[in-house]
Structures are given as C-alpha cells and as structure tokens.
Amino acid sequence: MNEAISVKTPLTDEVVEKLKVGDRVLINGVIYTARDAAHKRLVELVNKGEDLPFDIEGQIIYYVGPTPPKPGKPIGSAGPTTSYRMDSYAPLLLAKGLKGMIGKGSRGIEVIEAMKKYKAIYLAATGGAGALISRAIKKADVVAYEDLGPEAIRRLVVEEFPTIVVNDVNGNDLYQIGKNQYKKT
Amino acid sequence: MAVREVPAEEITKTIKRLCMEANTVLGDDVIEALRKGYRTEESPVGKHVFSELLENAEIAKEEGIPLCQDTGLVVVFVELGQDAHVIGKDFNEAISEGVRQAYKEGYLRASTLDPLTRKNFGDNTPAIIHIDIKPGDRIKLALVPKGFGGENMSRVILFPPAAGIQGIKDYVIQRVEESGPNPCPPLVVGVGIGGTLEKAALIAKKSLLRPIGQRHPTPDIAKLEEELLRDINKLGIGPQGLGGTITALDVHIETYPTHIGSLPVAVNFQCHCDRHKEAII
C-alpha cells in the first residue's frame, strides 16, 4: 500500500486535484458531521436562499451519527454511515463549495459528475471501525440541529483521521477498480 | 409439570447485559474469522481493513465503547418455555426496559424512530421481538443489535418453483454484487428459503445467530452454503468493497416448508460487525 498523505482542512482545488483514487489520506483540522435529516435541512436552506449554519467553502462533511460520549471523552463510536442516502442532496452542496465527503459505499453518477465539475473528492472511512476512528477525533461540538440527537451537525477537530480516496476529481472509482482487479471467473 | 415462575425483572436485567455486551465485545467466532481473513486476504488494502477491524475490536472491548456507532435496532429471538410463567410485568415491556436501560447507561446510540414523522423516541425502544413457544420451563433470549447498512441491502423475492436451486444461487450472488460496499463487507449472508413472505425473512435473520463457520446439519444445505460462499468470494468486492478475495465470512441458510406454487427466498446481510449474544434464564 502507498504511504498515507496528510492534508489539512479547508481543502483547496490544488490539494484536491493531487489526491488520486486509492490514495490513503489522513485528515487534520475541522470537519463537519451530517447525515440524512441534517442534509434535508441544509438543502432546504439553500433552496430558500438562506445561509448555512457553517461556512461550507472548502470543507469536508463526514456522514456519521456517533454514539453519545462517555464522560471525559469528546465523542463515542464514530464510524461512517452508508453514503448513497445523501446522493440526492450532495450535488447542491458541492455547488456551494463543499470539497470533500467521507462515508462508505458507492455514490451515484450525479454525485460523481458533480465532483468532477466542482473539483471535490469522496473518501471512505472503514465502516464498523467506529471505536478505532473515535481516537482521531479530538473535539466535537454541536453547531446546528441539536434536536436531531445523533443526527445533529457537529464540528469535529480531527488529527490524522484515516480515509482512502474512492472517487477523485477525474471520476475514477476505487470500488470498480478494486473489484475488477480481484474478480475471478 | 410444575410451572416455573420467572420475575420480569430477570428478563430486563438479562436483556440489558446482552445489549451492552453485544455492542462492545465481538464473539470468538467473529474474531477468529477476522484473523483468518487477515491471514488469507490477497489484497493489501483488504488486509489493512482486517487489521483495522481487529484493532477496533480490541479498543471497543478495552474502553467499553461500541464497536460500531450504528448500535442498531434491537432484535430479540425468544424461546419461551411453555412451563415458564413471567410475573411482575408485561413481558414485552420487560424486554424494552432492558433495552432502554442499556442504551442510556451504556452510551449506545438511540436509532429508533417513528417511520413517518421521523421523530426519534430517544431510548431505542421498542425492540423487535420474535417469540417461539417451546417445551420446558426455560427462557432463551438471543439478541442482535441489527445495524442497517446490511439491513437496507436485504431483500425478499417470491420465485416461481421453476427458478429452482440455480435461481436461488443466482439471486443471492446478484444481491451481494449489487450491494457492493454498502452493507460493510466482509459479510455474513443469511438466506431464508421457503415458508411465506415473512417466514423467509424471519429464518434468514435467525440464521445470522449461528456462529460463523458452523454448517447447516443437512448435508445438501451445507454443500449449498459452501458453494455460495466460494462463488461470492470470487466477485472481487472484498473487505469494505475496496477489492479483494474475501467478500463474505460465511453463508448461513435456513429452510422451511412452502407452498406448491412458490419458492420464497430472503437474503439478510450481516456486516462484519457480527454482534449476537444469548442467555438462558
């Protein structure tokens, strides 16, 4: 496996363009959490022409609904949820400046096309490794939609948060590439 | 035979313990399967995923935090001895109370909500309870916190009988292939064959309680399990769908008699975080 590349958020076009399908990427800085219910509200805001609860320019959204933190911990178990459920919302957020998404599982063609158009990437974190991933999360604060509980939008401060590039700005797809490489007849 | 009285409180306490254990400690069968996966997976990225999953299991156990943030809907299979008499409380409520306490005190995620208003009830109740009445005076509780990455990719189909065994095999493999990375492979694939619409789904789910590596006692069905496992692992999907030679850790099939005019088949996916615990009261 290739050596991992460390990046810092917010991401720029220059950084995103260098990241290629299959690269291991360690994320540092701030990322935001959002899943189904929060996406619905974010897109409603955009459609009404209102401001989002955080500046989305250059940011990464992590598809996660963490478990509650134990006392003294910033967060509980915090692995990725399945990304296709956010597909209908993602292109609009990419148009607004979102540069990265972290989740697990395949994206639809509209999302892959939007990533090419707006220069953004899709990264996978290991699903079901929520305890391991929680160690990369140093701080977590709810910034919007507290009523959604685990689905609230949180601002996470992360260090060397482990991901792998699934879709790069050229529209490559690691799930297709990996499968074709190991398929046996 | 004398009726044995079982305080409902006993059921609550047991369910609470099973919920907490299942969410933080992987069973020996799963750990063994992940270790074997690490040894045999051909893809370097896939091998790395196995090492992460083993490390994750250690951290979860050590720190007492959930293995996965999707701590699931709680599915409970009850084998209720017909000579056991539960006293002191509503039986279903005794189970839900155990879930409620575990999810609050164990810092587990409450994921249960109203399907239409989408309002979260906040305590992960009610549980999904399946009760089977058996001879004897014992109560067996088998519990699965079912994550929905795998559940969302699961399906039931009612084939015409002409589909036959080949039709079943093609369907299971097609479901795994179409689901790709979504259900968090490496998977345990539960297959229910026969019965009615809901019976096929139920036995598919129940098959997930069987330890990884344990074959069906009927040789023909055991052979079908092995053939399907071999074919699924040729798909190339691999750990987390990133490419590799281990897409499934096991295939479990259960069957039930069905109607002359039908061949129901259910496929229920369990992710690698194969959480199941049981207890007998």
Contact A131 B63 (CB under 8 A): yes
Facing B243 at nearest CB: one of A81, A128, A179: A179
DSSP assignment of B174-185 equals HHHHHHTTTT-S
What are A139-164's pLDDT values in tens digits?
999 999 999 988 999 999 999 999 99
Half-sphere exposure (CA, 13 Å, Cβ side) for A169? 16
> Considering only CB atoms, which chain A residues are within 8 Å of B114?
none
Query: What pLDDT, on the 0 to 100 scale, is given for residue A2?
Result: 72
Q: Could you list the mean pLDDT of each consecutive 10-residue stretch along chain B, which spans 281 residues?
A: 90 97 96 97 96 97 96 97 94 96 96 93 95 96 96 97 97 97 97 98 97 97 98 97 98 98 98 94 94
SS3 A111: helix
Contact A178 B184 (CB under 8 A): no
Facing B69 at nearest CB: one of A79, A82, A180: A79
DSSP assignment of A74-92 equals S-S--PPPBGGGGTTTHHH
SS3 B51: helix
Chain A to chain B Cβ contacts (< 8 Å): 170
pTM: 0.94
Where do the domains of chain B lie?
4-23+67-146, 149-274
d(CA B210, CA A170): 44
Contact B122 A135 (CB under 8 A): no
Query: What pLDDT, on the 0 to 100 scale, is given for residue A3?
Result: 84
What is the CATH topology of the domain spanning A5-182? fumarase (3.20.130)
Surface-to-core class of residue B175, CB atoms within 10 Å of its CB (0-12 exposed, 13-18 middle, 19+ buried): buried
- The DSSP call for residue B71 is -
Contact A67 B107 (CB under 8 A): yes
Mean pLDDT of all residues belonging to chain A: 95
- CA distances (Å), B84 to each of B13, B15, B17, B258, in order? 17, 17, 21, 31
ipTM of this complex: 0.94
Segment (H or E) for B28: helix B28-40
Query: What pLDDT, on the 0 to 100 scale, is given for residue B1?
Result: 63
Partners of B74 in the beta sheet? B145
Tokens in use for B16? Answer: 């609470």
Q: What whole-number percentage of chain A has pLDDT above 90?
A: 97
Partners of B67 in the beta sheet? none
Question: Side chain identity at B1, as an amino acid letter?
Answer: M
Facing B68 at nearest CB: one of A77, A149, A185: A77
Contact A67 B69 (CB under 8 A): yes
**CB contact, 8 Å: A64 with chain B?**
yes
Among B45, B69, B109, B154, the residue to mutate for chain A (most A Cβ within 10 A) = B69
b vs e for A76-104, b when ≥16 Cβ sit within 10 Å of the residue's Cβ? bbbbbbbbbbbbebbbebbebebbbbbbb
**Sign of the four-CA dihedral B188, B148, B279, B27:** positive
Tell me how close the Cα of A160 comes to any Cα of chain B, in angstroms: 15
Nearest to B53 by CA among A163, A33, A133: A133
Nearest CA in chain A to B244: A182
A39 catalytic residue (yes or no): yes
**CB contact, 8 Å: A105 with chain B?**
yes
Contact B111 A106 (CB under 8 A): no
Q: Find out whether B132 and B77 touch, Cβ atoms under 8 Å.
A: yes
Tell me how close the Cα of A176 comes to any Cα of chain B, in angstroms: 8
Tell me how close the Cα of A62 comes to any Cα of chain B, in angstroms: 13
Tokens in use for B45? Answer: 């990225």
d(CA A134, CA B55): 12
Q: What whole-number percentage of chain A has pLDDT above 70?
A: 99
> Considering only CB atoms, which chain B residues are within 8 Å of A124?
181, 240, 242
Where do the domains of chain A lie?
5-182
d(CA A115, CA A128): 26
Among B61, B70, B152, B233, the residue to mutate for chain A (most A Cβ within 10 A) = B70
> Considering only CB atoms, which chain B residues are within 8 Å of A181?
43, 236, 243
Candidates A16, A32, A35, A39; catalytic one:
A39
b vs e for B38-57, b when ≥16 Cβ sit within 10 Å of the residue's Cβ? beebebebbbbbbebbbebb
Q: What is the mean pLDDT of residues A91-120?
A: 97
Contact A131 B65 (CB under 8 A): yes
Segment (H or E) for A184: none
